[in-house]
Amino acid sequence: MYALARELLFKLNPETSHELAVDLIGAGGRLGLNRLVCQTPRLPVTVMGLEFPNPVGLAAGLDKNGDAIDGFAQLGFGFIEIGTVTPRPQPGNPKPRLFRLPQAEAIINRMGFNNQGVDHLLERVKAAKYRGVLGINIGKNFDTPVERAVDDYLLCLDKVYAHASYVTVNVSSPNTPGLRSLQFGDSLKQLLEALRVRQEELTVRHGRRVPLAIKIAPDMSDEETVLVARALLDTGMDAVIATNTTLGREGVEGLAHADEAGGLSGAPVRDKSTHTVRILAGELAGKLPIIAVGGITEGVHATEKMAAGASLVQIYSGFIYKGPALIRAAVDAIAAAGNKR
């Protein structure tokens, strides 16, 4: 059935088809239809102190505004991450800014955090019926200078805290100038320390500790990835999400749109992401959970991520190319690999 839907959706330009797909998934959720499409077996796991019905989640960026939370949840995801959301609404980069590379099962995007702002997102979260694990991914506005980025993250953290199961700090989008510089050295430490202090204050105020995860890029050297891992341990973060899209173009050379600016996702980022997970796992030694994302287009890729050291996985591009059946395939593959161990 998805093959037919995909054929129709792929006839539209990528951004129109994206919006239509989110609308349809949202509508299916309101009507309770989506759970008829997909039944995901239970494979419960506890990570960051949260209970997940299965370890396969929706990655950030597909439901940026939280408009279709119930719809995505009913498709069988074990958790949903919405955002990236910024303090104020912003339009993102000029269109076109989203490109499909179907031969490579890949996407290039330079959306630039187009979103309706944190207040709109919170209205959507409050309206949703979903009571499962909900991650809220936060970022900075395009026009906030990077030296003041911490103000935007703290503002978003304050606002979303009471409504999130966990909060993801996105410092790895390649489409907001300067953002990725926050992954390094003193900038990273200062950001993480400020967020941790605020997390402690909010824990007291709300009587609940909401875990903080940081989402990183796949484009760092091994040494840089190790330094990130150490900073996460030193500051007491709760999890790391690896990875965002890549600026590299390996695996898509010569294809239409390969030279578009932006982040590349899907099959070509798979091995780079898994490598990042492996380097993190070596340094973190089980002290901090890893959520792996990047290039899962078949069930077996989810098991590769788990074997590299992940506790949970997320999918984005694979969902666009394979549809909701990929969720079940990933859960089944992880379950089968677990049984063999």
Nearer to ligand FMN, 29 or 268 (CB): 268
Rounded to whole angstroms, the Cα distance separating 275 from 309 reads 10
Rounded to whole angstroms, the Cα distance separating 308 from 259 reads 31
Rounded to whole angstroms, the Cα distance separating 24 from 323 reads 13
Decide: is 272 part of the binding site for ligand FMN (CB under 6 A): no
Instruction: Please give the single-letter amino acid code of residue 313.
Output: V
Closest approach of ligand FMN to the CB of residue 194, in Å: 20
Instruction: Point out which span in 32-40, 140-148, 277-285, 291-299 binds ligand FMN (CB under 6 A).
Output: 291-299
Contacting residues for 66 by C-beta, under 8 A, at least 6 apart: 82, 83, 85, 121, 124, 125, 128
Q: Which residues are annotated as a binding site?
A: 60-64, 84, 109-113, 137, 170, 175, 215, 243-245, 266, 295, 316-317
Contact 167, 197 (CB under 8 A): no
Closest approach of ligand FMN to the CB of residue 207, in Å: 28
Decide: is 71 part of the binding site for ligand FMN (CB under 6 A): no
Decide: is 87 part of the binding site for ligand FMN (CB under 6 A): no
Decide: is 296 part of the binding site for ligand FMN (CB under 6 A): yes
Per the annotation, the verdict on 173 as an active-site residue is yes
Please pick, from the candidates 317, 329, 332, 334, the single residue that binds ligand FMN as defined by CB under 6 A: 317
Decide: is 109 part of the binding site for ligand FMN (CB under 6 A): yes
The number of C-alpha atoms within 13 Å of 101 and in the hemisphere containing its C-beta is 24
What's the burial of 223, exposed, middle or buried (CB within 10 Å: 0-12/13-18/19+)? exposed
Closest approach of ligand FMN to the CB of residue 110, in Å: 9
Instruction: Point out which span in 125-133, 192-200, 310-318, 333-341 binds ligand FMN (CB under 6 A).
Output: 310-318
Please pick, from the candidates 50, 111, 118, 156, the single residue that binds ligand FMN as defined by CB under 6 A: 111
Decide: is 90 part of the binding site for ligand FMN (CB under 6 A): no
Q: Annotate each residue in 221-260 with x if it binds ligand FMN (CB under 6 A) or - if it does not, as one string.
A: -----------------------xx---------------
Instruction: Point out which span in 40-48, 107-115, 186-194, 333-341 binds ligand FMN (CB under 6 A).
Output: 107-115
User: Which structure tokens are listed for 130?
Assistant: 């979903």
Vertex 76, ends 47 and 82: CA angle to 5°?
65
| Active-site residue (options: 173, 265, 273, 311) | 173
Residue 18's H or E segment, with its range, is helix 14-31
DSSP for 227-279, please give it: HHHHHHHHHT--EEEE---BS--TT-TTSTTTTSSSEEEEGGGHHHHHHHHHH
Decide: is 295 part of the binding site for ligand FMN (CB under 6 A): yes
Residue 320's H or E segment, with its range, is helix 317-322
Please pick, from the candidates 137, 176, 183, 225, the single residue that binds ligand FMN as defined by CB under 6 A: 137
Which position has the token pair 């979903």? 130
In the complex, the residues that contact ligand FMN under the rule CB under 6 A are: 59-61, 64, 84, 98, 107, 109, 111, 137, 170, 173, 215, 244-245, 265-266, 269, 293-296, 315-318
Please identify every residue annotated as catalytic: 173
